[in-house]
């Protein structure tokens, strides 16, 4: 088949496309973005638009003015979209119009408000893996101007897996090693391979921060994170086609600077998403997020993912919350004002990228006006209201400007004398047109005569057909319609030229003035972002106070001790939907180190242990908590082993997933950790399950670190551990039996339970009566058999666990290098005696 002949336009397209082979090229052609070749085939399917052809070349297109929804669909599929614009006016161009790519939009570099979720960040990450353990990591949001850097040297791979998941990253820049480690690990996360250089990254950071060295930012010797930053910044330059001037808030953080929540705990505790459908409904953030601004909502989300461990900082937050809690009038007024403050971070990012229009600057002005009001009622927050920026915008831009920057009507007349003069010219010409219509009606006697305008023919005089006989000889016919004809006169044409010229000059001048105003605002980006951070914090503090008043929360006492004491604690999410029974908690690293909680299914064991973890998180973000009283010894990490599920992507069974999570807890727990374990060992046989659960409790009790543990289980055998191990305490969820039925009291009381009430619970689920009766019959037989077996067998199975542990401990203490033969024989005899007991 003969190749279609390439036109200059198609050749221009191909030349540009070669530079962006991994992108869908949006090629500007008049009022449309056109796609050609393979791009057209791919896009037409995703966008559900018609595939046509041009000179035998596949082609499809979308309107320029309505392109955002189409771009969004492509971005959601992980595609990159290169925006190729016309760089000159086609009317003034001689030959082919100059075109080039002005920006590449990717999942992690979106700044369009229509695509972004206002309440969540759109983070893009960069990771440099030196090996599986050591890595540098950077993530940021170009729509809000935030950047975070860190390094990890012990558990790099798992740390990065957790960060990607908890931050909801959709795009990550990686080196070769990183690509091999992360490939196929996540759905809807797109990896971009690139080169990394530490030196360039260091110099660029110093330039951005305006410093001679990075010591003050703790980044001077952070070679791995500097490499990650360099790749990150280069990728932004390549995609945005300009310097990134809004990234001015740069923070170095360490994993251990915060209460570390891995992705398993974030999921199990349902902090951001519920486990049923992945939505926000029924989560901790759903309860707490009563923020008034998008900036505040994003900050709250960040705080929930990284609670504080510094007691001083926690108390500083608490004092701010207490201020609003104690001053309800100020709280109410603050929230009313915040309601009218728009997303300063994202507005100023558009200013920085040169994409902000007049409406954006008016939004900024209106928000700054509200900031002034906030400053008056909150002097203690030292708010910089940027009055000069407000005055600039208020004096220059009209209150309701058009969305387009090229149609005039943006700049106030009093701001610039030149605009005023051109407006006067236009107004005088328009008055002349109005007078012309009246004058021509009198001159011709045609009362229905009209003066009008359209973009094709310009200004015209319209006469209906019955009146054509009255048309004067100086009228020049321009257009014939069904019921009328349109004419021009030399005088009208002259005035048209004056009006259009004045309009064009005014529009060009207004655009020039607007750009200069936008540049002045751009110079204040750092201050506006600092202000947005202050507003965000005020929003979150006042939200915590509002929620505390609404839901009867109390200010917890937070310290560096080991004690977690909660009086009348409640689950913050569950209590919103049901009548809730409060419970006390007392846990430390001494007499109450491990709480073993037994009770029937549905009684509330899981709710209780999650409740404790959520109260700790709330306390450490500075919030008040759902309790009568609470004292929280700061926790550095919360581990959870809750629920069961296969990990198909890694080929792991339910039991293997459970054991992997248990191993993570046992290997990484610290003396400041809080461990939540629910039904450990249920994924295997009963005896295996009991053995594993028993050994876990023993291990967590015996290691010197002694982390605080809440251990919910249906293995009643574990309750014997209270008698055997110091620091283990039994609790159970109380149940009342009444007329053959059970009533869940949801109250946690001291002591063990020895009944599961499984058949009673089954009856509540609608299982047929016949099956339930048969189950009771079998249960009676098994219980009778169990009693006979106990009488026959004197040694108890659980003694075996203890005996084995004692023997192992004795063997561990043997000094093989220094023991004498006689001592060895004596020890062997002693061990033999232990086994024969």
HSE (CB half, 13 Å, CA atoms) of 86? 18
Q: CA 519 to CA 361: how far, in whole Å?
A: 11
Inter-residue contact 405 to 357 (CB < 8 Å) = yes
Mean pLDDT of the 687-712 span: 88
> 247-273 in b/e burial notation, b at 16+ Cβ within 10 A?
bbbbebeebeebbbbbebbbbbbbbbb
Mean pLDDT of the 692-712 span: 90
- Could you report the per-residue pLDDT of 349-382, keeping only the tens digit for each? 999 999 999 999 999 999 999 999 999 999 999 9
80-94, 393-407, 538-552: least confident range: 80-94
Whether the predicted model's global pTM rises above the 0.75 cut: yes
Task: Look at residue 647 in the predicted model and tell me its pLDDT.
Answer: 44
Split at pLDDT 50, 70, 90, the class of 491 is confident
Q: CA 485 to CA 483: how far, in whole Å?
A: 7
Q: Using the predicted structure, report yes or no on whether residue 333 has a pLDDT greater than 70.
A: yes
- At residue 88, what are phi and psi to the nearest 5 degrees? -150, 160
Q: Using the predicted structure, report yes or no on whether residue 795 has a pLDDT greater than 50.
A: no
Q: Using the predicted structure, report yes or no on whether residue 651 has a pLDDT greater than 50.
A: no
Torsion of CA 529, 530, 536, 537, to 10 degrees: 160
Task: Look at residue 718 in the predicted model and tell me its pLDDT.
Answer: 87
Q: Position of tokens 């190749």? A: 3
Per DSSP, the residues of 390-430 read: HHHHHHHB-SS--S-SSSS--B-GGG-HHHHHHHHHHHHHH
Mean pLDDT of the 48-60 span: 89
Q: CA 100 to CA 523: how far, in whole Å?
A: 28
Q: CA 464 to CA 485: how far, in whole Å?
A: 6
Q: Which two tokens stand for residue 313?
A: 């900082």
CA gyration radius, the chain:
36
Q: CA 263 to CA 664: how far, in whole Å?
A: 12
Task: Look at residue 820 in the predicted model and tell me its pLDDT.
Answer: 64
Q: Which two tokens stand for residue 529?
A: 């972002």
Task: Look at residue 631 in the predicted model and tell me its pLDDT.
Answer: 98
Split at pLDDT 50, 70, 90, the class of 771 is low
- The angle, 0 to 180 degrees and rounded to 10, between the axes of the packed helices 328-338 and 358-377 is 170
136-145, 407-416, 427-436, 528-537: least confident range: 427-436
Between the CA of residue 657 and those of 164, 605, 663, 694, what are the distances in Å?
Answer: 19, 21, 10, 19
Question: What does the mean pLDDT of the chain come to?
Answer: 87
Q: Using the predicted structure, report yes or no on whether residue 514 has a pLDDT greater than 70.
A: yes
Q: Which residues contact 57 (CB under 8 A, 6 or more apart)?
A: 4, 10, 36, 37
Task: Look at residue 208 in the predicted model and tell me its pLDDT.
Answer: 83
Mean pLDDT of the 55-71 span: 91
Q: CA 407 to CA 699: how far, in whole Å?
A: 74
Split at pLDDT 50, 70, 90, the class of 629 is very high
Of 551, 553, 554, 633, give the one whose Cα is nearest residue 589. 633
Q: CA 14 to CA 16: how far, in whole Å?
A: 5
Of 521, 499, 484, 413, give the one whose Cα is nearest residue 453. 499
- Could you report the per-residue pLDDT of 125-179, keeping only the tens digit for each? 999 999 999 999 999 999 999 999 999 998 999 999 999 999 999 899 999 999 9
- The angle, 0 to 180 degrees and rounded to 10, between the axes of the packed helices 328-338 and 525-551 is 130
Q: CA 589 to CA 563: how far, in whole Å?
A: 7
Task: Look at residue 780 in the predicted model and tell me its pLDDT.
Answer: 62
Inter-residue contact 621 to 548 (CB < 8 Å) = no
Q: CA 67 to CA 304: how far, in whole Å?
A: 36
Q: Using the predicted structure, report yes or no on whether residue 221 has a pLDDT greater than 90.
A: no
Q: Using the predicted structure, report yes or no on whether residue 550 has a pLDDT greater than 90.
A: yes
Of 349, 299, 293, give the one whose Cα is nearest residue 143. 349
- Higher pLDDT: 276 or 566? It is 566
Inter-residue contact 568 to 583 (CB < 8 Å) = yes
Task: Look at residue 21 in the predicted model and tell me its pLDDT.
Answer: 94
Q: Using the predicted structure, report yes or no on whether residue 802 has a pLDDT greater than 60.
A: no
Task: Look at residue 817 in the predicted model and tell me its pLDDT.
Answer: 67
Task: Look at residue 759 in the predicted model and tell me its pLDDT.
Answer: 47
Q: Tell how far CA 494 is from the center of its chain.
A: 59
DSSP state of 753: -
Split at pLDDT 50, 70, 90, the class of 792 is very low
Q: Tell how far CA 612 is from the center of its chain.
A: 25
Split at pLDDT 50, 70, 90, the class of 305 is very high
Mean pLDDT of the 475-486 span: 93
- Could you report the per-residue pLDDT of 422-470, keeping only the tens digit for each? 888 888 888 888 899 999 999 999 999 999 988 778 899 999 999 999 9
Q: CA 799 to CA 795: how far, in whole Å?
A: 7
Task: Look at residue 656 in the predicted model and tell me its pLDDT.
Answer: 78
Q: CA 255 to CA 159: how far, in whole Å?
A: 9
């Amino acid at each position: 088949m003969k190749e279609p002949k390439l036109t200059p336009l198609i050749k221009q397209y191909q030349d540009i496309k070669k530079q962006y082979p991994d992108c869908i090229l949006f090629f500007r052609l008049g009022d449309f973005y056109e796609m050609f070749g393979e791009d057209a085939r791919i896009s037409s399917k995703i966008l559900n638009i018609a595939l046509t052809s041009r000179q035998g070349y596949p082609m499809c297109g979308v309107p320029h003015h309505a392109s955002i929804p189409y771009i969004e669909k492509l971005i959601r599929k992980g595609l990159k979209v290169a925006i190729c614009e016309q760089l000159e006016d086609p009317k003034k161009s001689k030959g082919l119009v100059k075109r080039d790519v002005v920006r590449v939009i990717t999942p992690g570099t979106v700044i369009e408000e229509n695509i972004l979720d206002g309440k969540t960040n759109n983070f893009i990450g960069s990771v440099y893996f030196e090996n599986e353990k050591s890595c540098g990591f950077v993530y940021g949001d170009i729509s809000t101007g935030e950047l975070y850097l860190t390094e990890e040297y012990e558990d790099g791979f798992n740390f990065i897996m957790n960060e990607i998941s908890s931050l909801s990253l959709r795009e990550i820049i990686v080196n070769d090693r990183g690509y091999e480690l992360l490939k196929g690990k996540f759905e809807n996360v797109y990896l971009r391979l690139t080169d990394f250089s530490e030196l360039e990254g260091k110099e660029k950071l110093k330039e951005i921060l305006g410093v001679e060295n990075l010591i003050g930012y703790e980044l001077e010797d952070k070679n791995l994170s500097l490499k990650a930053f360099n790749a990150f910044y280069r990728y932004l330059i390549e995609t945005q086609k300009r310097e990134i001037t809004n990234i001015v808030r740069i923070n170095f953080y360490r994993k251990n600077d915060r209460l570390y929540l891995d992705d398993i705990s974030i999921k199990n505790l349902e902090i951001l998403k519920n486990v049923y459908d992945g939505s926000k409904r029924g989560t901790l953030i759903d309860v707490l997020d009563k923020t008034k601004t998008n900036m505040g909502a994003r900050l709250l989300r960040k705080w929930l993912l990284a609670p504080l461990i510094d007691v001083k900082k926690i108390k500083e937050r608490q004092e701010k919350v207490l201020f609003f809690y104690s001053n309800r009038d100020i709280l109410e007024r603050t929230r009313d004002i915040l309601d009218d403050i728009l997303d300063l971070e994202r507005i100023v990012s558009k200013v920085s990228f040169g994409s902000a229009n007049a409406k954006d600057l008016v939004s900024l002005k209106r928000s700054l006006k509200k900031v002034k009001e906030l400053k008056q009622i909150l002097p203690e927050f030292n708010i910089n209201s940027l009055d000069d920026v407000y005055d600039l915008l208020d004096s220059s831009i009209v209150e309701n400007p058009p969305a387009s920057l090229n149609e005039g009507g943006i700049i106030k007349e009093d701001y610039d004398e030149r605009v005023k003069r051109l407006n006067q010219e236009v107004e005088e010409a328009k008055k002349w047109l109005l007078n012309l219509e009246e004058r021509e009606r009198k001159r011709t006697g045609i009362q229905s005569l009209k003066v009008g305008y359209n973009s094709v023919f310009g200004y015209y005089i319209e006469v209906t057909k019955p009146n054509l006989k009255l048309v004067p000889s100086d009228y020049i016919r321009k257009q014939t319609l069904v019921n009328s004809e349109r004419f021009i006169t030399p005088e009208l044409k002259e005035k048209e030229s004056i009006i259009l010229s004045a309009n064009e000059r005014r529009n060009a001048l207004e655009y020039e003035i607007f750009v200069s105003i936008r540049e002045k605002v751009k110079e204040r980006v750092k201050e506006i972002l600092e202000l947005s951070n202050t507003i965000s914090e005020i929003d979150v503090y006042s939200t915590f106070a509002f929620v505390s008043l609404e839901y009867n929360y109390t200010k917890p006492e937070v310290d560096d001790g080991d004690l977690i004491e909660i009086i009348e604690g409640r689950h913050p999410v569950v209590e919103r939907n049901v009548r809730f029974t409060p419970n006390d908690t007392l846990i430390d690293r001494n007499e109450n180190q491990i709480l073993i909680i037994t009770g029937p299914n549905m009684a509330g064991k899981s709710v209780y242990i999650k409740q404790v973890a959520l109260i700790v998180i709330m306390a450490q973000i500075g919030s008040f908590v759902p309790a009568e009283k609470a004292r929280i010894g700061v926790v550095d990490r919360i581990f959870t082993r809750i629920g069961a599920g296969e990990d198909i992507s890694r080929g792991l069974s339910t039991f293997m997933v459970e054991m992997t999570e248990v191993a993570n807890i046992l290997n990484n727990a610290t003396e400041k950790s809080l461990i939540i374990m629910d039904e450990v060992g249920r994924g295997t046989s009963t005896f295996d399950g009991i053995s594993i659960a028993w050994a876990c409790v023993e291990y967590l009790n015996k290691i010197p670190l002694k982390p605080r543990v809440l251990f919910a289980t249906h293995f009643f055998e574990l309750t014997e551990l209270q008698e055997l191990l110091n620091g283990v305490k039994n609790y159970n969820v109380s149940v009342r039996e009444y007329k053959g039925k059970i009533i869940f009291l949801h109250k946690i009381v001291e002591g063990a339970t020895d009944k599961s009430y499984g058949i009673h619970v089954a009856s509540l689920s609608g299982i047929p009566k016949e099956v339930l009766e048969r189950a009771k019959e079998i249960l009676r037989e098994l219980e009778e058999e169990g009693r006979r077996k106990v009488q026959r067998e004197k040694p108890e199975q659980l003694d075996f666990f203890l005996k084995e542990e004692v023997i192992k401990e004795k063997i561990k203490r043997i000094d093989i290098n220094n023991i004498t033969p006689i001592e060895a024989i004596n020890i062997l005899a002693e061990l033999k005696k232990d086994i024969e007991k």
